[in-house]
Structure 1
Amino acid sequence: MGRVFMVDLQGQIYSCKHCKTHLTKDQDLLSKTFQCNHGQAYLFSEVVNISIGKREVRMMITGLHTVTDIFCVGCGSNVGWKYEIAHDKNQKYKEGKSVLELCKIMGPHDTNKFHNF
């Protein structure tokens, strides 16, 4: 197996919490209103430096979706999922988009959590 090519992003970025591999840019953020088993999650239009798991049909809060889990190529951690097919026509906007779980990433959303008093 060859060496994994990783994309280095510029600007405000979101990275894997475990290994700091770049995953996406703040400008690719579409929504902050998603939920996962571990709390809050964000929807992004583009995510890099990931590998894709097998397709699965899952019943989610917003209905039936075909999704793939996504994993950081740096450390192999599961960082979220990608929507492949939305079975409800009102959810089609999610197709091809990725959700990253906030507990598994670090980025601009962390800036308000730490204060130097």
Structure 2
Amino acid sequence: MAEFIGRPFFSCRSCRNPVALPDDVLSKKFYAKWGPAYMFTNVTNVVTGRTQDRKLITGVFAVADIYCSNCHEEMGWKYVRAHDPKQKHKEGRFIVDLSKIVKEY
């Protein structure tokens, strides 16, 4: 929590649990289950579900859904493995649906 004090951050819309910093946004051009989403290099205060293969817009990936560690709201997913070598840059990155977070100041 210390890294969020005095800085803008994104939190869970349901319970206001801090989950990410704006500096960790890699891209604002993604879509998740519920609409527009951001790709983050790092998120915190989330738990990861089991890994499963999923067909997404850019191909098949091994992904794990992510949930708020406080209220357990589903927030998006983590790219675990890309089957296409051209998509390897997504591995270890997080997609967070904008409808699940709010920016705090």
TM-score, normalised on structure 1? 0.84
Structure 2: runs of 5+ lacking an equivalent: none
Deviation at 1:37, TM superposition (A): 2.4
1:70 match: secondary structure: strand
Deviation at 1:38, TM superposition (A): 1.2
Q: Which is richer in strand?
A: 2
Consecutive aligned runs of 4 or more in structure 1 exceeding 4 Å deviation: none
The higher relative CO (CA closer than 8 Å, separation ≥ 6) is in: 2
Equivalence for 1:36? 32
Count of residue pairs the alignment pairs up? 103
CA–CA distance in 2 between the matches of 1:21 and 1:37?
21
CA–CA distance in 1 between the matches of 2:33 and 2:95?
12
Equivalence for 1:78? 74
CA–CA distance in 2 between the matches of 1:61 and 1:46?
22
* 2:11 paired residue among 1, 9, 15: 15
The Cα RMSD (Å) is: 1.4
CA–CA distance in 2 between the matches of 1:96 and 1:53?
14
CA–CA distance in 2 between the matches of 1:91 and 1:35?
16
1:107 match: secondary structure: strand
Identity of aligned residues (%): 38
Equivalence for 1:65? 61
Q: Deviations over 1:57-93 (max 9, x none)?
A: 0000000000000000110100110000011111111
CA–CA distance in 1 between the matches of 2:87 and 2:11?
27
CA–CA distance in 2 between the matches of 1:101 and 1:90?
24
TM-score, normalised on structure 2? 0.93
Higher Cα radius of gyration: 1
Structure 1: runs of 5+ lacking an equivalent: 1-6, 112-117
The one-letter amino acid of 2:60's match is: L
